[in-house]
């Protein structure tokens, strides 16, 4: 009986592992391009951010079936991004890749911070480089425009009893960008600027700043009303707070 239980447990574990492998595998686009000397497959990969830009990732596989490839490779062209109204908002030049077959990961960079919330469509055409068959593909990309909102503030004390102010802002759809905090006095003069050079890591998150009640030059400041302004890639949010120093 114990042996049967062990075999059953092992079988279930293998099934779970197989399910995990399937879940993380890239999504292959159904239609393939039949080239003169092989087959071209297209995969949708997970997207990410780099240097503040959203990168749409694809994988192209040129599976050669001939011992004597034509050497023409794969051509990608007619590459552009449209909004839900069909208007082109970005485009890319033609690429020629994989002349010897193999695999190539490509990405399309988009600065969504300048675009409104919408469902966008990536368009591109894949062609066998020898001028043979070709197929056009599309991929939907949902985007929410960046937003910043005030969340909370509270006084904190370190182990030495030193007082500081923690100010938190909610940041949405600005992943990959670096927020900056500017503090203004009641006369509108900027007294302090804080930038941690830490990128936003999630699509929706809280981002906190700590202020020691001093100016950028280190001069201690007095009680009063201060305005806290967070800016992130052109989006901003301000909050006035009465500060007791």
The model's pLDDT over 177-226, given as tens digits with 9 standing for 90+, comes to: 899 999 999 999 999 999 999 999 988 999 999 999 999 999 999 999 99
The model's pLDDT over 119-147, given as tens digits with 9 standing for 90+, comes to: 999 999 999 876 678 999 999 999 888 89
67 lies in the same domain as 171: no
Confirm whether 1 is domain-assigned.
no
Q: What percent of the chain has pLDDT over 70?
A: 87
Confirm whether 53 is domain-assigned.
yes
152 lies in the same domain as 138: no
Residue in 180, 188, 169 with CA at minimum distance from that of residue 226: 188
Which pLDDT band holds residue 6 (cuts at 50, 70, 90)?
A: very low
- Give yes or no for a contact between 45 and 58, defined as CB atoms under 8 angstroms apart: yes
> Among 116, 143, 170, which residue terminates a domain?
143
Rounded CA separation 196/160 (Å): 23
The model's pLDDT over 13-56, given as tens digits with 9 standing for 90+, comes to: 334 333 332 333 577 786 789 888 889 999 999 998 888 889 99
Confirm whether 5 is domain-assigned.
no
Residue in 47, 110, 39, 49 with CA at minimum distance from that of residue 69: 39
Confirm whether 161 is domain-assigned.
yes
The total number of structural domains that make up the chain: 2
What separation in angstroms does the CA of 55 have from each of 46, 76, 106, 111, 176? Answer: 9, 17, 9, 9, 11
37 lies in the same domain as 130: yes
The model's pLDDT over 81-126, given as tens digits with 9 standing for 90+, comes to: 999 999 999 999 999 999 889 999 999 999 987 888 899 999 999 9
> Among 125, 143, 161, which residue terminates a domain?
143
Q: Quick one: pLDDT at residue 12?
A: 41
36 lies in the same domain as 129: yes
> Among 109, 143, 177, which residue terminates a domain?
143
187 lies in the same domain as 200: yes
CATH number for the domain that contains residue 107: 2.60.40.2550
CATH number for the domain that contains residue 161: 2.60.40.4070
Q: Quick one: pLDDT at residue 144?
A: 84
Query: Where in the sequence is the domain holding 71, given as residue range(s)?
Result: 28-143
The model's pLDDT over 63-85, given as tens digits with 9 standing for 90+, comes to: 988 777 667 889 999 999 999 99
pTM over 0.75: no
Rounded CA separation 136/149 (Å): 41
């Amino acid at each position: 009986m114990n042996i049967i239980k062990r075999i059953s447990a092992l079988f279930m574990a293998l099934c779970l592992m197989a399910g995990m492998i399937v879940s993380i595998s890239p999504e292959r686009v159904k239609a393939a391009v039949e080239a003169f000397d092989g087959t071209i497959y297209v995969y949708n990969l997970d997207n990410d951010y780099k240097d503040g830009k959203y990168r749409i990732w694809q994988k192209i596989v040129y599976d050669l079936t001939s011992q004597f490839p034509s050497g023409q490779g794969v051509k990608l062209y007619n590459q552009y991004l449209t909004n839900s109204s069909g208007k082109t908002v970005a485009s890319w030049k033609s690429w020629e890749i994989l002349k010897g077959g193999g695999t190539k990961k490509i990405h399309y960079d988009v600065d969504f911070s300048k675009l409104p919330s919408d469902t966008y469509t990536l368009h591109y055409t894949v062609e066998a480089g020898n001028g043979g068959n070709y197929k056009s593909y599309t991929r939907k990309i949902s985007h929410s425009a960046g937003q910043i909102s005030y969340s909370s503030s509270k006084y904190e004390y370190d182990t030495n009893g030193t007082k500081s102010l923690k100010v938190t802002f909610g940041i949405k759809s600005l992943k990959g960008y670096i927020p900056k905090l500017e503090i203004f006095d009641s006369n509108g003069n900027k007294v302090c600027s804080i930038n941690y050079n830490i990128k936003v890591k999630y699509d929706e998150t809280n981002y906190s700043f700590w202020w020691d009640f001093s100016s950028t030059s280190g001069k201690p400041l007095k009680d009063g009303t201060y305005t806290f302004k967070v800016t992130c890639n052109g989006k901003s949010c301000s909050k006035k707070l009465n500060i007791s120093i």
